[in-house]
Chain A
Amino acid sequence: MTAETLSRRDWLGLIARAPLPLLEALWPDDPPPFDWLRRPETGAMMVQGRAGAVGAGFNLGEVSVTRASVRLQCGAIGHALVQGRSPRKAERAAVLDALLQTAAAQDVHARVLVPLQEAECAARETRARRAAATKVDFFTMVRGEG
């Protein structure tokens, strides 16, 4: 996984879905000085489904989220909309988004994004392998002829 393959929409999603303890472990640094454009605010997003999986949209229920926006002293602006109720996670995510648009991008990519993506892939891989182990192999009993 190279840093260049992640677009901004990819990294915003990756950080938004990441568990906070992992994010903190990968990036324990104090953030660089920044100004709040929008202080962390916890709220909800309504999740939609589709009738019959493919038809008209309907409201399934809400998911808790926290959003924040920051501006670094260099002028880079970072946004975050993260899953869960942690203001700390939203702050970290917004600062990381801003940093990823500066000269620090390559370092942050390597230290934070690549391990986050590896962790997400590993979790998916484990689920897929466990599911595969419970896949049913049907066999037909040989029936007697005549």
Chain B
Amino acid sequence: MYVAVKGGERAIDNAHAWLEDARRGDRAVPDLEIAQIREQLALAVDRVMAEGSLYDPDLAALALKQARGDVIEAVFLIRAYRTTLPRFGSSLPVDTGAMQITRRISATYKDAPGGQVLGPTFDYTHRLLDFDLENGQPVPPAPEADAQAGPVPHILSHLGREGLIQAEPAGSEDVPDLTRAPLEFPAQRALRLQALTRGDEGFLLSLAYSTQRGYGRNHAFVGELRIGHVRVAAYLPELGFEIEFAEIQITECESVNQFQGSKTEPAQFTRGYGLVFGQSERKAISMALVDRALRARELGEDMADAPAQDEEFVLSHCDNIQSSGFLEHIKLPHYVDFQAELELIRKLRCAAAQGLEAAQ
């Protein structure tokens, strides 16, 4: 039976008008400015940029305002917008070794060259609500101290010099892009990293946690976590040289993982890698742990059957726009499908009742 689904335009228009009214809220309260969201809800803005896969703080702030603070809805808006942008080209790989550090810690070396720099962290706070914030008290500028210029080398490079950690192979010039070609399995690590960096933070956090609890155990240390600013350079053919056309804030996590050795690899440390737009260390650490878990097969580890080690499972489910799109479509009209199911149940019951009668 075909059921025509038409109508409801007025209801939809009015629902959207109410949505807009509700988004604005009490008119006695001042309207939020984009700059306020960008400056004061910066970590939400960072998450929208990372999962929306577009670095543009003002746009992410606008998306958060329009989405009433619903992060995944804001990510959806950014993803939709980015499909309208022509792609001009690709940058050179960013040099995170040249990052201007705002935070840099290591859980493996106390006295790493360059030192442990805490930066603006929630760590060591007592997680007590600060009721002074209700009154908008003036905030003094952050303390300063004399800074020593000089490189802050990656901590894992020390292990690399001794050959105690597995080397990172150089890749081909041709970097695969999952926004241009559908994901196929098995996927290269480059595609896995792209999927993870734009993947849902909550999903990756849970998977990373599952590896710590024993589902695909690969005991991880945070070799280094760094947050800071890097410049992005690209070669411009019309000029014949590269320019550093942008500066972005990113978070990088390098994990160091125990590895007993396998049939193909000697005993050595192995690596997991996380790199995320903005200040997003929970995401970067999660990404590093899941990246390492997904390398189980390439490292020849036995028993690589935990959820976090299953590439197809992880990569097919980590994108919150794909997953929420499919999840939420089931609330849309399925009148015909349901009618068919209803008919089927009635027929089965009827047949069963007749069978019962015949048996008696």
Contacts and interface: CB of A to CB of B under 8 A. Distances in A.
Contacts of B101: 131
B88 interface: yes
A130 B142 contact: yes
Given A13-B245, A56-B171, A61-B53, A48 B91 contact: yes
Nearest to B234: A45
A43 B86 contact: yes
A113 to B, nearest CB: 14
B255 to A, nearest CB: 10
Nearest to A41: B86
A134 interface: yes
Nearest to A124: B100
B14 to A, nearest CB: 33
Interface stretch (B271-279, B319-327, B345-353): B271-279
Contacts of B246: 16-17, 45, 47, 63, 65, 83
B266 interface: no
A13 B246 CA distance: 7
A46 B91 contact: yes
B102 interface: yes
Given A43-B88, A131-B119, A83 B247 contact: yes
B54 interface: yes
A81 B170 contact: no
Interface residues of A, number: 53
Interface string A111-145: 00000000000001111111111111010000000
A27 interface: no
B171 A61 contact: no
Nearest to A64: B56
Given A60-B94, A69-B238, A132-B147, A44 B252 contact: no
A55 B96 CA distance: 12
Nearest to A82: B245
Interface in A1-52: 8-9, 12-13, 16-17, 41-52
Interface in A54-82: 54-65, 67, 69, 79, 81-82
Q: How many interface residues does chain B have, given as a range?
A: 35 or more
B93 A49 contact: yes
B168 interface: yes
Given A46-B87, A48-B94, A129 B168 contact: no
A131 B82 contact: no
Interface string B72-83: 000000000010
Contacts of A134: 103, 117-120
B147 A125 contact: yes
A103 interface: no
Interface of A: 8-9, 12-13, 16-17, 41-65, 67, 69, 79, 81-85, 124-136, 138
Interface of B: 49-50, 53-56, 58-59, 82, 85-94, 96-97, 100-103, 110-111, 115-120, 142-149, 154, 156-157, 168-173, 175-179, 189-191, 193-194, 197-198, 228-229, 231-234, 236, 238-239, 241-248, 250, 252, 254, 271, 273, 275, 277
14 contacts: A12-B239, A17-B247, A42-B85, A43-B87, A47-B55, A53-B97, A53-B275, A62-B53, A62-B55, A79-B238, A85-B58, A126-B144, A134-B118, A134-B120
